[in-house]
Structure 1
């Protein structure tokens, strides 16, 4: 299924395709503060509808994950990284997707604080 999403002000817009049935929450220092519910997809499933120049990027700790956010409204719609075997992935914040019933999703907790 194809989903549309954006930051709050719409400066970052995107489409993502895949089967959305479960999400991951994380208690690491940034995810806990953002309150993101992440859906991991191959990076090729994410299509930006706005230029990459509309985004800002934040990295921390090992600087492996590019946390993308809107410099105007501050919302973090997704992040990008590579798996240990080199596959490009995107972590979509499903709270930024249109018309998704969050209560219908299976939520799995990840203990990122312990990494």
Structure 2
């Protein structure tokens, strides 16, 4: 388990800054997935209880993409196109969402254990 450095910012944004995210805490782990969507975006996701991450500029500056089993909205900035997060379509209590950690200071991602997930085939972790 990694420790967050005191100077590490928990605030991030898309490339143009129209969508800004603030994490409640550094994640303990993150996921790099090879599904058809994640491998194309290059996103590495940290997970949080839905509603605990502050997202400014959403929905007015974002676009959503829904596919597959239609349980998630994949969200990106409509100006610069950067993937910012995904959120559940049905936000039941206990639902979680994923935040693209590549939108934060690189030291945040360096401080987190990243697990590789085979979302393209077996739906299992590869490590």
TM range (shorter): 0.7 to 0.9
Q: How many correspondences in the alignment?
A: 114
Is 2:63 aligned against 1:56? Answer: yes
Larger Rg: 2
Deviation (angstroms), 1:86: 5.3
Is 2:31 aligned against 1:38? Answer: no
- Which residue, 20, 36, 44 being the options, matches 2:27? 20
Distance 2:16 2:62 in 1: 12
Structure 2 unaligned regions, length at least 5 = none
| TM-score after normalising by structure 2 | 0.78
Deviation (angstroms), 1:9: 0.3
Q: Is the 8 Å Cα contact of residues 24 and 37 (structure 1) preserved in structure 2?
A: yes
Deviation (angstroms), 1:3: 1.2
Structure 1 unaligned regions, length at least 5 = none
Look up the SS of the partner of 1:113 in the other structure.
Answer: coil
RMSD of aligned alpha carbons: 2.2
- Which residue, 83, 92, 99 being the options, matches 1:92? 99
